[in-house]
Amino acid sequence: MDLDANATTRPADEVIDAMMPWLRENFHNPSSSYRGGKIVRQAVDQARGQVAELLGVSAEEIVFTGSGTESVNTALNSWDRICGAGDFLTTRVEHSAVLRTGEAMNRTLSLCGVDASGALDWADYVDLLGRAAFVAVMAANNETGVLMDWRRAAVMAHEKGLPFFTDAIQAVGKMPVNLTDTACDALALSAHKFHGPKGVGALYLRRGTRFEPLLHGGGQESGRRSGTENVAGIVGMGVAAALARKRQADGSLAEIAAMRDDFESRVLAGAGGVTRNGDASSRLANTSHLSFDGCEAAGLLILLDEMGVACSAGSACMAGKQQPSHVQKAMGFSDERAKSSLRFSFSHRNTPDEARQAADCTIRAVGKLRSVQGGAIGPVVVYSP
Q: Which amino acids are annotated catalytic? A: 317
Q: Check if the beta carbon of residue 183 is closer than 8 Å to that of residue 151.
A: yes
CA atoms within 13 A on the CB side of 197: 21
User: What x/- string results for residues 267 through 306 when contact with ligand PLP is judged by CB under 6 A?
Assistant: ----------------------------------------
Q: What is the C-alpha separation between 283 and 342, in angstroms, rounded?
A: 16
Nearer to ligand PLP, 192 or 206 (CB): 192
Q: Check if the beta carbon of residue 84 is closer than 8 Å to that of residue 133.
A: yes
Nearer to ligand PLP, 95 or 370 (CB): 95
Scan residues 111-150 and list those touching ligand PLP (CB under 6 A). Answer: 138, 142
Smallest separation (angstroms) from ligand PLP to the CB of 174: 11
Smallest separation (angstroms) from ligand PLP to the CB of 49: 21
**C-beta nearest to ligand PLP: residue:** 68
Q: What is the C-alpha separation between 125 and 110, in angstroms, rounded?
A: 10
Smallest separation (angstroms) from ligand PLP to the CB of 328: 15
Applying CB under 6 A, the site for ligand PLP has a residue count of 13
Residue 88 CB partners (closer than 8 Å, separation 6+): 76, 79, 80, 102, 105, 107, 108, 109, 110, 132, 133, 134, 135, 136
Smallest separation (angstroms) from ligand PLP to the CB of 189: 9
> For ligand PLP, which stretch binds (CB under 6 A), given 31-39, 62-70, 236-244, 303-311?
62-70
> For ligand PLP, which stretch binds (CB under 6 A), given 65-73, 74-82, 246-254, 340-348?
65-73
Among 68, 173, 197, 299, binds ligand PLP (CB under 6 A): 68
> For ligand PLP, which stretch binds (CB under 6 A), given 66-74, 156-164, 208-216, 240-248?
66-74
Q: What is the C-alpha separation between 296 and 293, in angstroms, rounded?
A: 9
Contacts of residues 182-185 at CB distance under 8 Å and 24 or more positions apart, as own/partner, are 182/151, 182/154, 183/151, 183/154, 183/155, 183/157, 183/158, 184/150, 184/151, 184/154, 185/209
Among 9, 50, 69, 209, binds ligand PLP (CB under 6 A): 69
Nearer to ligand PLP, 92 or 364 (CB): 92
Question: Measuring CA to CA, which residue among 275, 258, 253 is closest to residue 336?
Answer: 275
User: What x/- string results for residues 158 through 197 when contact with ligand PLP is judged by CB under 6 A?
Assistant: ---------x-xx-------------------x-------
Q: Check if the beta carbon of residue 164 is closer than 8 Å to that of residue 144.
A: no
Nearer to ligand PLP, 345 or 362 (CB): 345
Task: Give 318's strand partners.
Answer: 321
Nearer to ligand PLP, 190 or 209 (CB): 190
User: What x/- string results for residues 74 through 103 when contact with ligand PLP is judged by CB under 6 A?
Assistant: ---------------------x-x------
Q: Check if the beta carbon of residue 171 is closer than 8 Å to that of residue 177.
A: yes
Task: Report the interhelical angle of 252-271 vs 352-373 (nearest 10°).
Answer: 30
User: What x/- string results for residues 199 through 228 when contact with ligand PLP is judged by CB under 6 A?
Assistant: --x---------------------------
List the beta strands (DSSP E) in the chain: 62-65, 87-91, 109-112, 132-136, 164-167, 186-190, 201-205, 274-276, 287-292, 312-313, 316-318, 321-323, 341-345
Q: What is the C-alpha separation between 323 and 318, in angstroms, rounded?
A: 6
* Site residues for ligand PLP per CB under 6 A: 67-69, 95, 97, 138, 142, 167, 169-170, 190, 201, 385
